[in-house]
Homo-oligomer: A and B are copies of this chain.
Amino acid sequence: MLSPEAACGRALSNPFIRKLEHAGPLSPDERQALSRLTLDARTLAARQDILPGQDVERVYLVMSGIACRYKTLFDGTRRIVSFVLPGDLCRIPPTSRQSSEWRVGLLTRCSVVDVSRAALQELMVRHPGLNRALWWLALAELNRSREWLVNDSRPGVQRLAHLLCELLACLQAVGLGEENGCELALSQVDLADALGISHVHINRVLQSLRKQDLIVWQRHRLVVPDVERLHDFADFDPAYLDFGGLSTVIDPLPAGD
């Protein structure tokens, strides 16, 4: 409501569509169908959870801002398992179950729209290209999640570097962020919880990256002077975001890996 921009997705392009294009080309038809999918655009304030709507038949689509999926361990720690960036779909898990449950939290102010699950599924049967694209999406997500697991085995400095590489690459993929920098309105605590590192330590590790001129990060803006160098330092291979670049070679595999 505050942002009429977010509501329209006017030129048949929004972050979601831009992201899906990475799975392979979409027909104008498919692009159009996608752009008609969005419902009830609205803006939500930072620092709160998205609560499960009354309507289970909808999923959320983030158009701007950053959210996260997380779980709270019983010692009170919050562990973020993935960021929800512009163009990302997410289902809000039912809050029902016992203590330890998945939640989606808004890290910055976000504009979101709803998408009808039924409509989305209908599109998948009518448009094989979209079916492929959505499979690609799910498998890319799985791939990224596993990449995070691997990242957990790296020492702190590289771990942070790797995460920053990924964030930059993902934002670039949906048209946010330039060649060597992007807006990044996360707090150090958010990064810490995503890496499973204390916020005190994150700060020190951050300083280390700065001291090596690998990054500059001020007033919500991340700048990477030499992307190549940061990639090397973090052992980051951008290919994995495209599901290993396989998307153009073979159709996604419908399961398991």
Contacts and interface: CB of A to CB of B under 8 A. Distances in A.
Interface of A: 56, 59, 69, 71, 73-74, 77, 79, 81-82, 84, 88-91, 93-94, 97-98, 100, 102, 117, 120-121, 124, 134-135, 137-139, 141-142, 145-146, 148-150, 152-154, 196, 235, 237, 239, 244, 246, 250-251, 253-257
B74 A254 contact: no
Contacts of A117: 250-251, 253-254
A88 B257 CA distance: 9
Given A121-B254, A134-B254, 10 more contacts: A56-B250, A69-B257, A81-B146, A89-B257, A90-B257, A138-B138, A138-B139, A141-B256, A149-B149, A149-B196
A142 B148 CA distance: 12
Contacts of A250: 56, 117
Identical chains in the assembly:
2
A150 B73 contact: yes
Contacts of A77: 153
25 contacts: A59-B255, A77-B153, A79-B153, A81-B146, A81-B150, A82-B146, A88-B256, A91-B257, A93-B257, A100-B237, A117-B250, A117-B253, A124-B254, A135-B138, A137-B255, A138-B139, A138-B142, A138-B255, A138-B256, A141-B142, A141-B255, A141-B256, A141-B257, A142-B145, A149-B196
Among A88, A135, A251, chain B packs the most CB atoms within 10 A around the CB of A135
Nearest to A117: B253
Contacts of A59: 253, 255-257
A146 to B, nearest CB: 4
A255 B89 contact: yes
B256 A121 contact: no
Contacts of A246: 94
Contact of A138 (B98, B244, B254): B254
Contacts of A98: 237
A235 B101 CA distance: 11
A79 B73 CA distance: 23
Contact of A74 (B81, B120, B235): B235
Nearest to A142: B142
Contacts of A93: 244, 257
Among A141, A152, A257, chain B packs the most CB atoms within 10 A around the CB of A257
